[in-house]
Structure 1
Amino acid sequence: MVKASKVHELLIQLKFPIIYTTNYDNGLEMAFEEYSPCTKYHKIANVEDIAKSSGCDTQIIKFHGDMETKDESSIVLTESSFFDRLDFESPLDIKFRSDILGKSIFFLGYSLSDINIRVLLHKLNQIWKSFNSSADRPPVYLFLTTPNPIQERILCARGITPVISPNPDPRTGTIAFLEQLVELNRKLETPCRKDK
């Protein structure tokens, strides 16, 4: 499955230091093993995993739990567990709020039709409003697979930059966008050479 996933391959090439996922599967872990076997990563699904993390390796945060863990309470699957998740008070939520306050965030695979993302973005906006310091706020981006002027306006009003897919097909557009990011990342990593 992962070998056939161009999206997974590109995500690994981007070398994000922290990746939050709501997927329960081990697709990202398999992608690291396949596309970057020398890259160390640390999977975080509960408070014990947070405590064990050195912060030096890439962190894969399993925001809705992990099917491979023995901690079944970490899995967000039922309606009541989703409502509990919306409280944003668990150890993973506290870590997420900390990451949001100090790092640029890029949302991929979400839309405003997802109640979780709407509540999350609302809470994020409230946190920054309480400090009255939008100049210090790290940039936040959300990738939209199709143009949507209403969602774009809502995102902008909340201080989030919408990034619109370059292609009407969601999968093709996502891949094209990630390929552009990988290329830009390569250019930024390559030192400039001055001709004599």
Structure 2
Amino acid sequence: MAERPDSAHFHMIAKRLLVGAVVPFLGAGVNLCGRPATASWERGRYLPSGGELANYLASDVGVSYPYSDISNLLRVSQYVDVSLGNGPLYEALHEVFDADYSPTPVHQLLAGLPSLVRRRAAGQRCFYPLIITTNYDDALEKAFLAAGEEFDLLTYIAGGAHAGKFRHTRPNGDSELILGPNAYPEFKCDERPTIAKIHGAVARVDGEEDSFVITENHYIEYLSHTDIAKLIPVNILTRMRKSHFLFLGYSLKDWNLRVILHRLWGAEGAGYNSWAIQSQPERIEEKAWAKRGVELMDMRLEEYAALLDARLQSSFEETLP
């Protein structure tokens, strides 16, 4: 049975985060963090869950989804794509995510990390966080901007002439297609944080640049033909392989995550212990995470974010090594 994180866990995670040794990995559940239990998705206020997004696509974009698994986002989006085409699907997704959603407590926690990293470093060299997300919205970026923090943005391109590559967007808005990731030195984790959106993202300024890995076919192509380890800039990939992972808002029922982890870690798994936070997980979840060398811990994300933030703040009342 998964245990609740204790004070020793938060002490360890805080120390490792502050030296850049933990990579937060955000799933769709992060977007529900802090949302009232009685509330549902509301454009511009509350981000949708995967099931809510599937229900919207199944009923509000011009098709009537005929099957019972109406909350299955992969199946529903695939049906819309086949019935109407990729264009209408992307237009519907743009309508959902091209809105000003407030950052969640997890987003705010992560946006507060850079200032704590600088404070701990006290003028010495430091390593800012690398954050990986499979979410399409820009709430995390908004949290960083609200905190006055610059960041590099790495976004997967799902379609068009450059499908299968990543784009680097700098803090000043300039962007560059990454053609040679093995010789791309622009990501410097000792200068500022990096946000990696490995399933694409909404393009708020120009909808023509939207990128969504969402349908069954998208995932099959992404996972069977895309060796993500060969597309990510080498210094980012090295950082990923030499860090702990902290999975927030994710379930290993998501088969695409299992394949991604296999691509990143290989059959032997990771060489660094990692953790996943879920509320009241099923026993099968614990077994699935354990097979990947990940310890599953039982806690709601709201509580976890609050306790970790408190631990990070109190770290400066002690002498950190």
**TM-score category (smaller protein):** 0.7 to 0.9
- Given residue 89 of structure 1, which amino acid in structure 2 is its aligned partner? D
| Equivalent position to 1:115, from 255, 258, 279 | 255
Counterpart of 2:200 in 1: which secondary structure? coil
Identity of paired residues, percent? 26
1:25 aligns with 2:137: yes
Residue 104 of structure 1 contacts residue 138 of structure 1 at CA under 8 Å; is this kept in 2? Answer: yes
RMSD: 3.0
Report the counterpart of residue 182 of structure 1 in structure 2: 309
Alignment of 1:11-90 (within 5 A): 11-15=110-114, 17-34=129-146, 36-37=147-148, 39-46=149-156, 47-49=166-168, 51=184, 52-55=186-189, 56-68=191-203, 72=209, 74-87=211-224, 88-90=226-228
* Paired amino acid for 1:28: L
Q: CA deviation at 1:106?
A: 0.7
Q: Which residue of 2 aligns with 1:148?
A: 282
Q: Deviations over 1:115-139 (max 9, x none)?
A: 112223444564435xxxx7xx112
- Segments of structure 2 that go 5 or more residues without pairing to the other structure are 1-44, 46-100, 115-127, 157-165, 169-177, 179-183
Show CA shifts across 1:60-103 (max 9, x none): 11111122278858531332221122235141497775443211
Equivalent position of 2:106 in the other structure: 7
1:164 aligned partner, one-letter code: D
C-alpha separation in 2, matches of 1:98 and 1:84: 24
Which of 155, 159, 164 pairs up with 2:298?
164
8 Å CA contact retained: 1:144, 1:164: yes
* Cα pair 1:125 1:158 within 8 Å, conserved: no
Name 2:240's counterpart in structure 1: 100
Task: From the CA coordinates, give the structure whose radius of gyration is larger.
Answer: 2
Match of 1:168 in 2: none
CA distance in 2, matches of 1:74, 1:94: 22
Q: Could you tell me whether the CA contact under 8 Å between 2:103 and 2:140 is conserved in 1?
A: no
2:217 aligned partner, one-letter code: S
Compared CA separation, residues 8 and 187, structure 1 to 2 (3 A): same
Amino acid at match of 1:12: A
* CA distance in 2: counterparts of 1:142 and 1:94, whole angstroms: 25
Higher helix share: 1
The number of equivalent residue pairs is 178
SS at match of 1:7: helix
Q: 1:98 to 1:121 in 2, by over 3 A?
A: same
Deviation of 1:8 (Å)? 2.2
- TM-score w.r.t. the length of structure 1 is 0.74
1:143 positional shift: 1.2
- TM-score normalised according to structure 2 size: 0.48
Q: In 1, are the aligned partners of 2:154 and 2:194 still within 8 Å (CA)? A: yes
CA distance in 1, matches of 2:233, 2:283: 30
Higher relative contact order (CA 8 A, sep 6+): 2
